Amino acid sequence: MCEQDPALRGIGHVKAALNDKRGRIMDAAIKVFAERGFHTATVAEIARAAGVADGTIYLYFKGKDDLLLRLFDEKMTELLAEARNELARERTAPARLSRFIQLHLALVERNPELAAVLIVELRQSAQFLKAADRAKLAAYVDLIAEVVRDGQERGELSDGISPATVKRAVFGALDELALGWLLSGRRSSLKKTASEVSEWLVRGLLPAGQQLDRHRGRQLPRQSVRRDRGRGGAACPRCQHAL
């Protein structure tokens, strides 16, 4: 077996060290931005939290705004990939839409500091407000429209509302719920909220006469939905809960 050239091995170690240092700066920025706020936070505070010299920050980023934008770009790339992977696991449009809603709020609850940066602090950056810097966010929100469009073509969702309207309404609701949760001190369970919201939002998009299987986020065949005479409404045949 040929031994690796010592020079190449040395370059590999340098690259690993640089990537590690950049990653530490990004992680520190998330923590500092979330705790101090974007405008109040300083490069010196980020450097101190990352364990590097102030000037080291400028070897990787142009400044505080650039650091925030690069952070957003990389994290949104990760979120997009995760969302697409999770949605691909579901077989129907209602199930995919329900999964998106639950995934989005789960990500907020799992990473509250990152969520605070992406949802609250990012809006304080003048550079981010430029349309060119928001392409990744638009791609993420467009996943909702893609699911709705596909569901309408397959007859799984009502075609009485445009996918563009649905994506704005759904994402707007999720954004407000996440913002409220962050600002209220994270007292409630977003998992419970996600389950409730996904059920009634998806239910409202189903074609007339179809019901939602609350267990799987998909439509029930019409013949499997019976009338619950005791309650006077439709019932899920699996759990007998009124629909």
Global confidence as pTM? 0.76
Q: What is the pLDDT along the chain (243 residues), one digit of tens a residue?
A: 555 655 445 444 444 555 689 999 999 999 999 999 999 999 999 999 999 999 999 999 999 989 998 999 999 999 999 999 999 999 999 999 999 999 999 999 999 999 999 998 887 776 676 655 678 889 999 999 999 999 999 999 999 999 999 999 999 999 999 999 999 888 888 989 999 999 999 999 999 876 555 444 455 544 444 344 344 444 443 343 443
Residues 6+ apart with CB under 8 A from 3: none
Q: How far apart are CA 32 and CA 54, in angstroms?
A: 14
Where would I find the beta strands (DSSP E) of the chain?
211-213, 218-220, 226-228, 233-235
12-46: b or e for each residue (b if 16 or more CB lie within 10 Å)?
A: eeeeeeeeebbeebbbbbbbbbbeeebeebebebb
What does the block give as tokens for 90? 């579901």
Specify the DSSP class assigned to residue 228.
Answer: E
Name the residue with tokens 């691909």. Answer: 88
